[in-house]
A and B are shown apart, each in its own frame.
Chain A
Amino acid sequence: MSVDTATVKKVASLARIAISDADAERLAPELNNILGWIEQLGEVDTSAVQPMTAVIPNHLRLRDDVVTDGGVRDSVLANAPAREHGFFGVPKVIE
């Protein structure tokens, strides 16, 4: 697998990261080096190995259906660039 500058730009835009054309030119070979390195793992035969879902053998714990949280509006809104009447205020988004 390898990426070209167009793919780099697309992935960056999906992640909302602004990069210049020059950055994209520089990043494409860097990313390709990383991808190539990871692809070496494909040389190991894993056909008889179950996919590992966690490092520690553990089970997913479930919670009881009880209200134990909330009512912390000030903390929730503390870092908001704009708060209005208890809401977050964001630049208008209308499709």
Chain B
Amino acid sequence: MTESTYRIRGETAEWEVVIGLEVHAQVTSNAKLFSGASTEFGAEPNTQVSLVDAAMPGMLPVPNRECIRQAVRTGMAIDAEINRWSRFDRKNYFYADLPQGYQISQLYHPLVGEGHLEVEVDGSLKTIGVERIHVEQDAGKLMHDQHPSMSYVDLNRSGVALMEIVSRPDMRSPAEAGAYLTKLRSILRYVGSCDGNMDQGSMRADVNVSVRKPGDELGTRTETKNVNSVRFVMQAIEHEAMRQVELLESGGTIVQETRLFNPDTGTTRSMRSKEDAHDYRYFPDPDLLPLELDEAFLEECRASLPELPDAKRARYTDAGIGAYNAGVLTAEVETARWFDALLATGANPTQAANWVTSELFGALNRTGTSIEQSSVSPAQAAELLALVADGTLSGSLAKQVFEVMLKTGQDPVAIVEERGLKQTSDTGAIEAVIAEVMAKNPNQLEQYRGGKEALFGFFVGQTMKAMGGKANPAVVNELLKKALS
């Protein structure tokens, strides 16, 4: 493990940046954390609200087992300690999107304790600690631009389960923070505990930043709220660290405060909150007994975990796939699933990896389709690779067949039959074409024989062209060499 050498160069000194992230991840579940209302995104306002979510008097919250299960599985996926005894607390504050006047959260006894995950930045590995994961309620949504003097409140999101995943202040550069967030998102999506959809707000980060001279004590930190993409997190850190350095070097002091990120300018600004805004007066929620988990529940959680990105990547590199390709193939769970299905057909791992990362990704990029929507199935890809492996198709013919597959969704064998795209190694036919090509190009022939050997490629091209790309390139090379000498 190497320490990051990322530094902010100020007027008077070099500064180190210290970063911690609190990630809010919406738990994938049908119903809310404490009520039976639906969590589905995009419904008509206030139609997915139970009287519990609206905080009507006398309503009693009852935890959703699935939300607890998903948080436990997430904890296990980052090697964290799972607390078999945890408890819910009330975090008290008033805001228009919070009908209860408090958020049910877990301050004193979180469900998940200390864990960690590994990130790779510039080729070196670094372990980032996770301090805890606790479960809490999301708030409702406010809209400010619909009415001149009113804000509108939609409580559909109110009470949806969130995991708050709190990192240690272990990151030292925007790149490390970006890598951490990317890795965390990938793990959540593998586990299936959060869809990781940052555009829809299913995952958002509060970014804690402070600066110090290397070796000094930690500086005062600021917290930039609700940053909703990896790129924005990196931008917010860069801007905030620079602002702090400039402030300190001009004799100022950092105030511990909450800030907002503006994606349009890439800058942060103070929220100017009232000083007592953070007096949350936490206390154990008297509506909820402690949450106690038994061994059978934990065992089920453990047994249901899929192969995780790190393990999958190691399996791919062990199979001979290059480290870079293995990383690309395992980053998104959908890609890994597709590629695993291709490997299951017995395809050669290295060839399959090369083909997927160049040909398939190229085509998907071109057409703007995701791998799940691809018209080519893993089984069809396996068939295509097999046709190349047994010499039926040359590289260039395989490309042609693949284009047809993309358009029609047909099986490669059927395409080869139907369009006569089989590669030929028929020496008689190839020799005849070579003779023709030589007869048509006497000048080039003379130059080649006069020592201009670079023209060999010209003859290969002409021969392949005359044969509609179907000649076996190795055979063409061999026969041409003979004929031209």
A residues within 8 Å of B by Cβ? 10, 13-14, 16, 53-54, 58-73, 75-77, 82, 84-95
Which stretch from B27-35, B405-413, B422-430, B452-460 is at the chain A interface?
Answer: B27-35
CB atoms of A88 and B290 under 8 A apart: no
Q: Which residues of B contact A58 (CB under 8 A)?
A: 289
Write the chain B residue with the least CB distance to A54: B289
Given A63-B65, A87-B146, A92-B149, 14 additional A-B pairs, CB 8 A:
A13-B276, A62-B68, A64-B65, A66-B31, A67-B38, A68-B31, A69-B52, A72-B51, A90-B153, A91-B151, A92-B150, A93-B96, A94-B151, A95-B272
Q: Which residues of A contact B31 (CB under 8 A)?
A: 63, 65-69
CB atoms of B47 and A73 under 8 A apart: yes
Once the chains are docked, how many angstroms separate the CA of A92 from the CA of B152? 8
- Name the interface size band of chain B: 35 or more
CB atoms of B63 and A93 under 8 A apart: no
Write the chain B residue with the least CB distance to A61: B62
CB atoms of A60 and B96 under 8 A apart: no
Known: A82-B150, A86-B45, A88-B152. A63 touches B144 (CB 8 A): no
Q: Is B114 an interface residue when CB atoms closer than 8 A count as contact?
A: no
Write the chain B residue with the least CB distance to A75: B51
Known: A61-B62, A84-B152. A67 touches B143 (CB 8 A): no
Q: Is B264 an interface residue when CB atoms closer than 8 A count as contact?
A: no
A-facing residues in B266-289 (Cβ within 8 Å) = 271-273, 276, 279, 281, 284, 288-289
Q: Is B182 an interface residue when CB atoms closer than 8 A count as contact?
A: no
Known: A65-B30, A70-B49, A87-B143. A95 touches B150 (CB 8 A): no
Once the chains are docked, how many angstroms separate the CA of A31 from the CA of B31? 42
| Consensus secondary structure, chain A interface | loop
Q: Which residues of A contact B392 (CB under 8 A)?
A: none
Known: A53-B289, A65-B64, A72-B50. A14 touches B35 (CB 8 A): no
Once the chains are docked, how many angstroms separate the CA of A57 from the CA of B151? 45
Q: Is B351 an interface residue when CB atoms closer than 8 A count as contact?
A: no
- Tell me, rounded to whole Å, the shortest Cβ–Cβ distance linking B137 to chain A: 15
A–B Cβ pairs within 8 angstroms, 21 of them: A14-B276, A14-B279, A60-B292, A64-B64, A65-B67, A70-B50, A71-B47, A72-B51, A73-B44, A84-B150, A85-B45, A86-B44, A86-B47, A87-B45, A87-B46, A87-B143, A87-B152, A87-B153, A87-B154, A92-B147, A93-B95
Once the chains are docked, how many angstroms separate the CA of A59 from the CA of B62? 12
Q: Which residues of B contact A14 (CB under 8 A)?
A: 92, 276, 279, 281
Interface string of B131-172 (1 = CB under 8 A from A): 000000000001110110111111100000000000000000
CB atoms of B45 and A70 under 8 A apart: no
CB atoms of B152 and A89 under 8 A apart: yes
Once the chains are docked, how many angstroms separate the CA of A51 from the CA of B37? 34
